[in-house]
Amino acid sequence: MARGIVTLTTDFGLADPYVGIMKGVILGVAPRARIVDLTHQIQPFEIAEAGFVIWQSWRYFPAGTVHVVVVDPGVGTLRRPILAEAGGHYFLGPDNGVFSMIFDELPHKVREVTAEAFFLKPVSRTFHGRDVFAPVAARLARGLSPARLGKLIRDYARQEFFKPVRSGKRIWTGTVLRADRFGNLITNFRLSEFPTVATRPFLLRAGLETITRLAGTFAEVPPGELALVEGSTGYLEIVMNQASAARKLGCGPGSPLELTLY
């Protein structure tokens, strides 16, 4: 099923050549691989942010795509490299729970990647993106069978990310997952899980403000006002019309939210 696409998600930034070096390694093994950057601006070591990004993105790629995520506070320790298969895609990264949102949603198999024959030698202790993940991703992109990489495991790491918590009879406590470049605040409330937001009154507390409106799109929001829209990921986002909700509210990733349904 491999079509030779590799996506990269890291916290390496773009000022250093680390991402380019990974691409050099990939193209050395798989000269025809197509490499797509998702983002390299994950906050350093923010596994949860990387987990949200890959969950949000993988489904827009063709089946057989290899998704490499290198946000890896434990690099150089005994934490294992893993390969997960889910939804017809490959997910390659450290065993630190970064794929938990995908595991929550889809049947999946996970292998520990032990086939050191495919690693770049010597494996450095600080840059497994280059020495482990890039060459293994390239092998997969060329069609290597996952079974060649290592055995199935069951004790891989999982984390509970991003779930709203019931904190009262009709009250849920949530959080801001991300602020995007426009200042839209992606919340951890999914419209599909809180469908009455679309049909009945609600009240969302954020910062010092209260939001009571669900809009169909940004342009429907009156200037200067805050509203919710269903974002492109299915999560509700706090937005303004051509202005920054993040700045208006003083909120960002991790800011608490409280949703009351009536």
Dihedral angle at the C-alpha atoms of 174, 220, 208, 258, nearest 10 degrees? -20
DSSP 228-258: EEE-TTSEEEEE-SSS-HHHHHT--TT-EEE
Cross-strand bridge partners of residue 67: 7, 91
Nearer to its own copies (CB atom), residue 13 or residue 250:
13
d(Cα 113, Cα 123) in Å, to the nearest integer? 14
Nearer to its own copies (CB atom), residue 106 or residue 214:
214
Shortest gap between Cβ of 261 and its own copies (angstroms)? Answer: 23
- How many separate helices (H) and strands (E) can be counted in the chain? 6, 14
Shortest gap between Cβ of 81 and its own copies (angstroms)? Answer: 15
Where along the sequence are the contacts to its own copies (CB under 8 A)? 3, 5, 7, 9, 11-21, 23-25, 27-28, 31, 34, 36-41, 44-45, 53, 56-57, 60-62, 65, 73-77, 124-127, 130, 178, 180-182, 216-220, 229-232, 242
d(Cα 225, Cα 39) in Å, to the nearest integer? 30
Backbone angle region of 46, left / alpha / beta, with phi > 0 → left and psi within -120 to 50 → alpha: beta
Shortest gap between Cβ of 190 and its own copies (angstroms)? Answer: 14
d(Cα 148, Cα 94) in Å, to the nearest integer? 18
